Structure 1
Amino acid sequence: METFLMILMLMALAGMLAFVVLAFVKGKGNRGKNFAMSGGCLFAFLVLALILGSMVEEAPVAEEAATKASSEDEEAEEKSKQEEEAKKAEEEVQKEQEEQEAEEAEEQAKKEQEEQEAKEAEEQAKKEQEEQEAKEAEEQAKKEQEVKEAEEQAKKEEEQKAMEAQEKSLTVSQEQAVKMAQDYLDYTAFSKTGLIEQLEYEGFHSEDAAYAVENITVDWKEQAVNAAQDYVDYTAFSKTGLIEQLEFEGFRLEDAAYAVENITVDWKEQAVMAAQDYLDYTSFSRQGLIDQLKYEGYSTEDATYAVDQVGL
């Protein structure tokens, strides 16, 4: 733009100079004609200046436009190149990442496979160990059973020999005492001391009676149970009263207590029977009868129940 103004000023200056020369230098007679000519020249110079100025101005503009277009093309190309490189780099990074992930997944799968194999191997080893231990335990149990059976067999043989030797050494009186003791136990219940006394009552010596009781097959607890059941079948007893009665009959306290716990009996009904027996031969007040039943060994609950049942 500055170049254009400079050219325009120079052209205008040249036109003015031509105007002055033509208008004033060449004579006054032709001044009108000279004015016209100088004006035409000035106009021509101005037009020429405008044309030259526009040409001069268009050249830089076109050059600038071309430069700008070239620069934009270069920038676009550079940008495209950068985008391509960025895309390529991104693809490369993504590819590396995918390869890394695939490698990690493969390593993880391999690790899991190894862990699974190790676990299976451990379970297999544990199973084999358990089977081995079970087999050893079974063999040990079998061996112990064989030893136990052998010991029991040896013990039986020894007992058999001892019994045979004893039978050979028995006196006639001892043999008879053993038979009679067994006969008594076959139809009624006896305590150990009660059976000895019964044999003595039958005329056997104390030694023979004691020998017989020690050499018969008998469970004294079961004898106590049978005796206890016989008692409650025909008369009324409290729990403690029955234990005392069995002890009186010669049973040990342990056997008597066992018997009372192992018979079929309703202690409330026993209390009712006892209460009715008392009322059948004597008179009682309600509280007096309760106290009497408690004295006989019945619980307060059973005694109260019995008194209620007999209507007192």
Structure 2
Amino acid sequence: MTQPFPPSPQQQPADPKAAKALKKAQRPWYKKKRFIIPLALVLLIILGQAVGGGSEEEPAAQETTAAPAAEESEEPSAAEPTQEPAPAPPAPTTEAPAPAPAPEPEGTVSQQNALSKAQDYLDYSAFSASGLVSQLEFEGFSTEDATWAVERVGADWNEQAARKAQEYLDYSSFSRSGLKDQLIFEGFTPDQAEYGVSQTGL
């Protein structure tokens, strides 16, 4: 843009006000107020937006950085296995108590008498099981009652064999084999007879 040439002295008006107005009109455009004020306002608006925009972008950046951190904190909780509730213990089953064994029958009067007689015989002499049954039968008890009594008398038949062997040696002399045969003859088993003879020291 070309600048206007200043008027020649002949063109300058003689009125001072007119001369001042002419001088203002001849100023360059960037020195005129009507251009400077709007330009300054535009610059202020641009600077304000630049400053405000920068401050707005920073929280946005902080939000974007905080969002992945929140996602990372949520990921482990999603990966954690969910604990299933423990199964309820099974209800206790109430089993009926086992029935008590039936009491052993006390036996008939005859059987009780046979048992008492068997205990009397064992108190003063030694007997084998079969010999005691025979003795009770001799006393008039039935075989069933005598057997019932001998099974319940509670005798140790090995000890009875040892007692019987000692009774024989108290009134007579025996060899080991002869004493064993005598005990077997009395109704003791071979094992019981062997035990009884060994207890005498033969």
TM-score, L = length of structure 1 = 0.30
Q: Looking at both structures, which has the greater relative contact order when contacts are Cα pairs under 8 Å and sequence separation is at least 6?
A: 2
TM score, norm. by length of structure 2: 0.46
- Whose helix proportion is higher, 1 or 2? 1
